Structure 1
Amino acid sequence: MSVEAYHLAVLQVVVPLLSAPFVVLLRPRGLAWAAASAASAMAFAIAVSLTAGVLSGDEYRYAVGGWAAPYGIEIRVDALTSLLLLVVTGASLVALLAGRRSLDVDIDDARQPLFYGAWMLALAGLAGIVVSADAFNIFVFMEVSSLASYILIAAGPNRRALPATFKYLVMGTIGATFYLIGVGLIYMMTGTLNLADMAQRVHEVADQRPVLAAAGFIIVGLALKAAVFPLHAWLPNAYTYAPHAVTVFLAACATKVQIYVLLRFDFLVFQGNLPGHEFQFSHFLMPLALLAILLASGVAMMERNLKRLLAYSSVAQIGYIMLGVSLLSATGLSAGIIHIFNHALAKGALFLAVACLGMHIQGLRLGDLAGAAKRMPWTMAAFVIAGLSLIGIPGTAGFVSKWLLISAALAEGSLGIAVVAVVLIGSLMAVVYVWRVVEAAYFQSPQAGSPEGRHEAPPMLLVVTWAAVLGNVYFGLAPGLPIKLSQAAAASLLQHLP
């Protein structure tokens, strides 16, 4: 590995982190957005380069300050890490490119440099969580990304963005506190914060109550941050009242990063070290995942606000991810991990289509969308295709992960048949709530006073939206890259099971 490649892992965090103060200083209109977009593009290029290295057999380890682990802070990139980095940096780049016009409307010129500076901090924090192999530094980056995300959500044009941000702040703080308490307890028992070193030491004290309490605090705290049902109360309002571009960014990657930490911590440190933990993990998580699919989809079917509908859909899709993880098999875990990637594609494209609709349609209630297909045919066509991916129609990315999930469930015998039934029912419920949007846009007459003629979204926003939509089709027909990364990630995680 060359010296340049060795430093790529740390540059993944350094580039957006050092860009933040630079962006804040750019006062002329548009410069802050351009600098933030350039930094996101560079971060995405670094993620692509790291992924290419991982696929060729490299594993990146960087000792910060030259201090080797476990005494120093280690940055590590493997198959699971590279998959999440693609999602995080790709979501940031797409959201910024698409959101220029809508953010100019929502954010005044004086606040734009501060807003884009916070965006860079959020990107640096999320990337830092993913690459860090140190439990406490994960917490540090978690707080950096969370505080920046609160600023991004609070910038929404609706006054209800502030109470939504406050609820997110309270719930996020509780989750981070639980995580920190758990890390403190396990550090007290093992004397190390490096995850790999912790995994080697924890089995010696696995029967001690502080370790058992640490497992509970960490899992509950991360589940709260990841909006795992029933700890999802903060998510619908946060997605609904944030600026459209912010919703695209956060919906694609924020909860996925917390799920990544949950998988990394639980499988590396607890699974195989705590007696009976894998049984408890599976049998507590699976019912919650099944309830998330059914109940959140049911709420989405009754929602009349488009962004809240898609937000509750995200809670259900997180249920699919956790369902695959709870099976504790190679195929099930691969299905859960690849659904992180595929759901980011589908939900990112759907919220991009929502951003297109929001440019010319006042309000995003279903009644406001009546006749939208005649006024914005390209936008609604993009929404339909992204919705098909969310449902899991063959030829789209969503089908790949659901097919793997059904295959993994059928291998579980009679229990698997019940799981498959829930997956199919959840997909049918997704058909219903996606169809409600399609029905309003294609088959209802426009309301009185609606503008006549076609009023499509700005070209840049529409082009980026269709790029995301075509990405759903491409990775549905040629899913080799995410499947290879997810299978390698699943094998790496499962090697710690007894």
Structure 2
Amino acid sequence: MSQAIQAQLPVLQVVIPLMAAPLCIILRRRSLVLPFAIGVCWLTFLVSAALLGDVLEAGVISYALGGWAAPWGIEYRVDALSAFVLLFVSGIAALVLTYAPRSLTDEVPASRHYLFCTLYLLCLTGLLGIAITGDLFNVFVFLEISALSSYALIALGGRRQALPAAFQYLVMGTIGATFILIGIGLMYQMTGTLNMADMAARLPAAEGIRTALVAFAFLTVGIGLKMALFPLHVWLPNAYAYAPSVVSAFIAATATKVSVYILLRFMFSVFGLEFSFEHLELGRALMPLALAGIFVASTVAIFQRNVKRMLAYSSVAQVGYMVLGISFATAAGLTGGIVHLFNHALIKGGLFMAMGCVMLRLHSVDLDDMAGIGRTMPWTMAAWVLGGLGLIGVPATAGFISKWYLIEAALEQNSLIVAVLLLLSSLLALVYVWRVVETAFFREPSQRAREAREAPLAMLIPTWVLLGATVFFGIFTTYSAGVARQAAEAVLGGLQ
């Protein structure tokens, strides 16, 4: 790669999918637009992989848009944490879209496929922009780009339940975005800057501790809504359950993870560890909410008959694990929380893709209809079992690595009760995963299951790649937990 292109990688990360999105409307024909969008996603992934390599080798990358130096101009800033998020968001986006064509044919009218690709690339643009920008107002702008396209993607399939789900998500998402914008506005009022690094330097000397407290409260609640932190999660189950399978897989694997990234950035990089966790003792609020979310959402998941809805409640519980790691405010806790962003993205994206395969053949993901499906779709359901083991946290899976670090963080702080609760929470995951396994492999086949056949290879291969990666990163942890450890240490050190 030439040095000139390498220097432009930060802006190319956002510009490539952003410029490609309107081109999908021009191409329009399905035979052209889907290969084009898939190629764009893989190119975006290559850019993010190159950025991560550069950051690990040379340290933080700062890119001044238009040649205007920060803090006067907009800065794109890539450190270990943002590069890690960019990598798995773009990678999962590429894999899910590679998996998408056959599923889209079944669930989305052909006349809307070009709209799907446009919205998908816009949503990807927003998620990547959030992770790479060093400007607070740009965080809000990219947040809205991703959110608005997500609402449309959820409703795109045309299922009757999808429209109310998208509308509920829109209302809750708009409230969250408004809270975030108010918080950013108050912080700008205090410091006179929107650059994160500059704001972090100015906040300690800024007058008006009450204004800082109000801004902190608005941001915490707004971000909590966006990342579906219990009990602000009410929009998520319907949104995931009734969206087209491709959309469920993409959003479940990426959207809430990027919102957790925003929380990390604000609480550690902007407000700082001392203000957030020593002065305000944020950990005391986050820890009980995280534990409540893990146990309540996991319990509710056990009683779901719709498997996509079950996975949606499981996602609320998994957000709890990430927030629990943040609440410790230690290197081990943050490592556990950050690596779980990555691990859960792999696991949950793969599980939703497996359910997309089932939806293609059964036109249902209801447990009763899935009775005996393991006999007619063995490869699909074997992939489900592999992902389920990751959710439970069985050794040699990525989910085990996350829980190992979280338990280590709990024991470091002498929180034996939290460590025990983490172990017990895995039993709840075992129960709802086993319900699907028992139904698929040990019950007499339903009429739909008897008539089903295995999913096409074009869908099975990306599903297995994603879920197979959960085993790879459960054994070879250098590229997941190792990078997460570097990111955690950088976050604890604040913006330099």
SS of the aligned residue for 1:99 comes to: helix
Aligned position for 1:181: 182
Which secondary structure does the structure 2 equivalent of 1:359 belong to? helix
Q: Distance in 1 between matches of 2:369 and 2:449?
A: 9
**Residues 280-429 of structure 1 correspond to what in structure 2 (within 5 A)?**
280-413=281-414, 416-429=415-428
CA deviations on 1:223-262 (whole Å, 9 max, x unpaired) are 1101111100000000001110111100001001011011
Alpha-carbon distance change, 419 to 390 in structure 1, aligned in 2, over 3 angstroms? same
* Mapped partners of 2:244, 2:113: distance in 1: 13
The Cα of 1:108 is off from its aligned counterpart by: 2.1
Shift of 1:32: 1.2
Q: Aligned AA for 1:16?
A: P
Once residues 401 and 273 of structure 1 are traced to their aligned partners in structure 2, the CA distance between those partners, rounded to angstroms, is: 25
Q: Which residue does 2:3 correspond to in 1?
A: 2
Task: Return the alpha-carbon distance in structure 1 between the equivalents of residues 124 and 277 of structure 2.
Answer: 37
**SS of corresponding position for 1:56:** helix
- The whole-number CA distance in structure 2 between the counterparts of 1:271 and 1:207 is 17
Indicate conservation of the 8 Å contact 2:253/2:348, yes or no.
Answer: yes
Aligned residues of 1:6 and 1:60 also touching (Cα < 8 A): no
Which residue of structure 2 lines up, in the alignment, with residue 489 of structure 1? 487
Aligned to 1:459: 457
Deviation at 1:58, TM superposition (A): 3.2
CA distance in 2, matches of 1:29, 1:220: 41
What is the rounded CA distance, in whole Å, between the counterparts of 1:278 and 1:238 in structure 2? 37
Amino acid of the structure 2 residue aligned with 1:287: P
1:157 Cα offset (Å): 4.0
Q: 1:410: how far off?
A: 0.7
CA contact (8 A) 1:224 1:232 kept: yes
TM-aligned CA deviation for residue 205 of structure 1: 2.4
2:434 is aligned with 1:435: yes
**Cα shift at 1:265:** 1.1
Structure 2 counterpart of 1:172, one-letter code:
G
- Cα deviation per residue 1:80-129 (whole Å; 9 max; x = unaligned)? 01111112111211111111111122222322112211111101111001
Gap change, CA 1:317 and 1:278, over 3 Å in 2: farther
> Using the alignment, how far apart are the partners of 2:413 and 2:273 within structure 1?
21
- Unaligned runs of 5+ residues in structure 1 are none
The CA distance in 1 between the partners of 2:445 and 2:164, in whole Å, is 33
CA drift of 1:407 comes to 0.8
* Distance of 2:448 and 2:211 partners within structure 1: 64
**Structure 2 equivalent of residue 469 of structure 1:** 467
One-letter identity of the residue aligned with 1:235: L
Deviations 1:34-85 (A, max 9, x none): 1111110000010111111122133221100100000000001111011111
* Residue identity opposite 1:242 in structure 2: A
Please identify, of 395-404 and 442-451, the stretch whose mean Cα deviation from structure 2 is larger. 442-451
Residue 191 to residue 147, structure 1, CA distance change in 2 (3 Å): same
Q: 8 Å contact 1:43–1:89 — kept in the other structure?
A: yes
RMSD: 1.5
Q: How far apart are 1:449 and its partner, in Å? A: 6.0
TM-score (norm 1): 0.97
CA distance in 2, matches of 1:308, 1:277: 38
Decide whether the 8 Å contact of 2:277 with 2:329 is kept in 1.
no
Report matched runs for 1:55-70 at 5 Å: 55-70=56-71
The answer to which of 234-243 and 486-495 deviates more is: 486-495
- Whether the 8 Å CA contact 1:292–1:316 is kept in 2: the answer is yes
Q: Deviations over 1:384-408 (max 9, x none)?
A: 0111011110111111111111111
Aligned position for 1:109: 110
Cα distance 1:277–1:80, how it changes in 2: closer, same or farther (>3 A)?
A: same
1:79 aligns with: 80
SS state at 1:451 partner: helix
In structure 2, the gaps of 5 or more residues are none
Three-state SS of the structure 1 residue aligned to 2:446 is coil
> What amino acid is aligned across from residue 333 of structure 1 in structure 2?
L
Give secondary structure in 1 for the equivalent of 2:281. helix
Which residue type is aligned with residue 116 of structure 1? C
Distance change >3 Å, CA 477–CA 274, structure 1 → 2: closer
Q: Is the 8 A contact 1:202 1:273 kept in 2?
A: no
Structure 2 residue identity aligned to 1:418: I
Residue deviations 1:392-432, cap 9 Å, x none? 1011111111111111111111xx11111111111010000
Over residues 191-218 of structure 1, what are the superposed CA-to-partner deviations in whole Å (9 max), with x where a residue is unaligned?
Answer: 0000000001111126521111011111
Structure-2 separation of matches of 1:94 and 1:134 = 29
* 1:315-347 C-alpha deviation (Å, 9 max, x unpaired): 000000100110111111111000000000111
Map 1:182-331; keep pairs closer than 5 Å. 182-205=183-206, 207-272=208-273, 274=275, 277=278, 279-331=280-332
1:447 equivalent in structure 2: 446
Deviation at 1:450, TM superposition (A): 4.5
Q: Distance in 2 between matches of 1:92 and 1:281?
A: 33
- Kept in 2, the 8 Å contact 1:362–1:368? The answer is no
Q: Please state how far the C-alpha of 1:484 moved relative to its aligned partner.
A: 2.1
Amino acid of the residue matched to residue 461 of structure 1? M
Q: Distance in 2 between matches of 1:335 and 1:275?
A: 19
Distance, in Å, in 2 between the alignment partners of 1:220 and 1:422 is 25
Contact 1:207/1:274 (<8 A) preserved? no
Name the aligned partner's letter for residue 460 of structure 1. Answer: A
**Alignment partners' CA distance in 2, 1:450 and 1:84:** 38
Aligned length: 494
Contact 2:55 2:83 in 1 (8 A): yes
Match of 2:91 in 1: 90
CA gap 1:280/1:105 in 2 versus in 1, 3 angstroms? same
**Separation of aligned partners in 2, 1:273 and 1:187:** 20
Q: Which residue of structure 2 aligns with residue 160 of structure 1?
A: 161
* Amino-acid identity (%): 49
Q: How far 1:482 moved relative to its partner? A: 1.3
Between stretches 189-198 and 112-121, larger displacement belongs to 112-121
Instruction: Compute the displacement of 1:278 (Å).
Output: 5.3
Deviation at 1:362, TM superposition (A): 2.9
The whole-number CA distance in structure 2 between the counterparts of 1:302 and 1:474 is 31
Q: Distance in 2 between matches of 1:449 and 1:259?
A: 39
Contact residue 109 and residue 157 of structure 2 kept, 8 A? no
Q: Give the aligned residue type for 1:495.
A: G
Letter in 2 for 1:492: A
Tell me, in whole angstroms, the C-alpha distance in 2 between the residues paired with 1:78 and 1:271: 17
Report if aligned partners of 2:267, 2:276 keep a CA contact under 8 Å in 1: no
Task: State the SS of the aligned residue for 1:75.
Answer: strand
1:353–1:382: 8 Å Cα contact kept in structure 2? Answer: yes
